[in-house]
Amino acid sequence: MQAVARDGREAPLREEDRALCAFASKLTGRQREMSRQDLEALRARGFDDRAIHDATQVAAYFNYITRVADALGVEPEEFIRPWGEERGAGLPRSGGRDTVGG
């Protein structure tokens, strides 16, 4: 996950995951350019309509909630490490488990 956060284009991902990341990235930054070809690229890598729908919902919700938080000046909780930060560089673990993602 850290490799994706640092540079998703260079991260060691399966083709399916790389296609999904490209889809989410385009939906996030260039949503007006989305087209049927973007859907077909996912279908060609084995994603069915439900998986595409779910991925779209997750990416869109994340985009929505981060924009709301940014607009309202919400600061991240202290226990959340910034993306790309190496394990151990942030706050100590709690109870033997990483506090981000359980």
CATH topology of domain 2-72: AhpD-like (1.20.1290)
- pLDDT one-digit tens code per residue, 38-91: 999 999 999 999 999 999 999 999 999 999 999 999 987 777 777 666 655 544
Residue with tokens 């939906």: 27
Q: Given this model, what pLDDT does residue 75 score?
A: 86
Q: Given this model, what pLDDT does residue 79 score?
A: 75
Q: Rounded to an integer, what distance in angstroms lies between the CA atom of residue 46 and that of residue 102? A: 29
Q: Are 98 and 87 in contact (CB under 8 A)?
A: yes
Phi, psi of 94 (to 5 degrees): -110, 125
Q: Rounded to an integer, what distance in angstroms lies between the CA atom of residue 51 and that of residue 41? A: 13
Residue 3 in this model has a pLDDT that exceeds 80 = no
